[in-house]
Structure 1
């Protein structure tokens, strides 16, 4: 993990991503930038939250840790996702593991600084409310979708929500992580992918999926996941 303290560079990043809108007061003196390499742990479940993080570049995976040591992928996030909003408000240890999938950079603000200088900041409190409501809506939507629809529908929805170039999707998550997110097993996911390949809907090449029949895939999807990329 690398830290950047350069005020000029930080001010440029804050302006580029319009992060000033999340606060009524100027936060420049209180922020640092943290950069993590792919596969590096950003936060660990059970630890105390020391910094409130805003993802400004890259891609991260959030995983829930069960008591038996197993983990389940909860979300894959792109900018501008806040990390630590629940733990900050409830003053509890971190609920999930957070790992960098790509080189990922965060604007970081010390939790004690937030409590001292921004606990009554209306814009920041509004930002927290919006963040939590978005995450709650996404969780309810995705859990309901996993419960109601069979795996072919869920996989179709997941694929349609991924960024693609000329209908080619590069999967940055492993197939095991995708299976966790879709609420299924690695074996069942592979069978379903083969079924879509056999039906001429997609083609599979290692960590690339090519959509060969988008119309059929959209009909199969029914709805879309939220916050899956």
Structure 2
């Protein structure tokens, strides 16, 4: 993580997402602009929440490690959102892991500052209620999708969410890791990749997956992950 000393850029994000409408000048003065590179952990489960974050640019993923060692994908953020709502006022340890899928910018406010100065800030409390309501619905839906939808739909969504500006993906994880991430077996994942390839939707070689038919991939993904 790098702290970006760029008041103009910080001010741009605050105004773009109306963050400066929520807090007074004192709290705004504690805000920091952080940059996380692709693959870098932003939050790690069971650690203390140091910063409450506003995600303002890039792409991040939220996932949980299960007791059996597997990972459960909860959701992706590609638009403005927050991190730390649940942990903030209850002073809980971080519940899920958060990682940058692309280089990302986040505005951080020290959690202890918010606990001290915003416990009676009506605008912020209303903002958090709205945020938590959306997260509850989204997490519930995404968890159900992982349990109810066939692997071909979940894999299609996984691939679609990792596409950047190019029509191919270089997988940073092994097939074994991806299979655990999607809650399946290595063999079933390999068969599903082969199925997508036989349909002319993708072509894969090693860690590189070429997207041949993005529209069909979108149809199969069923927009599972937010």
Distance in 1 (alpha carbons) for counterparts of 2:161 and 2:8: 36
Match of 2:224 in 1: 225
Match of 1:93 in 2: 93
Q: Deviations over 1:43-102 (max 9, x none)?
A: 222221121011222222333234566544433332422111111132211112223333
Distance in 2 (alpha carbons) for counterparts of 1:71 and 1:3: 29
1:131 shift after superposition: 2.0
Match of 2:108 in 1: 108
- The question of whether the paired residues in 2 share the 8 Å contact of 1:53 and 1:108 is answered with yes
TM-score by length of 2: 0.80
Match of 1:25 in 2: 24
1:107 shift after superposition: 0.5
Bigger mean CA deviation after superposition, 150-159 or 106-115: 150-159
What are the residue-to-residue correspondences of 1:25-174 with 2, within 5 Å? 25-26=24-25, 27-67=27-67, 71-159=71-159, 168-170=167-169, 174=173
Give unmatched runs, 5+ long, in structure 1: none
Match of 1:208 in 2: 209
1:204 shift after superposition: 2.9
**Superposition CA RMSD, Å:** 3.0
Secondary structure, counterpart of 1:190 in structure 2: helix
1:158 shift after superposition: 4.3
- The question of whether the paired residues in 2 share the 8 Å contact of 1:52 and 1:85 is answered with yes
How many aligned residue pairs are there?
223
Match of 1:2 in 2: 2
1:108 shift after superposition: 0.6
Match of 1:197 in 2: 197
TM-score by length of 1: 0.79
Distance in 2 (alpha carbons) for counterparts of 1:101 and 1:219: 22
Secondary structure, counterpart of 2:184 in structure 1: coil
- The question of whether the paired residues in 1 share the 8 Å contact of 2:64 and 2:71 is answered with yes
Bigger mean CA deviation after superposition, 156-165 or 126-135: 156-165
- The question of whether the paired residues in 2 share the 8 Å contact of 1:61 and 1:98 is answered with yes
Distance in 2 (alpha carbons) for counterparts of 1:32 and 1:165: 28
1:192 shift after superposition: 0.3
Closer, same or farther in 2 for the Cα pair 1:44/1:154, shift >3 Å? Answer: closer
Give unmatched runs, 5+ long, in structure 2: none
Closer, same or farther in 2 for the Cα pair 1:198/1:133, shift >3 Å? Answer: same
Closer, same or farther in 2 for the Cα pair 1:133/1:172, shift >3 Å? Answer: farther
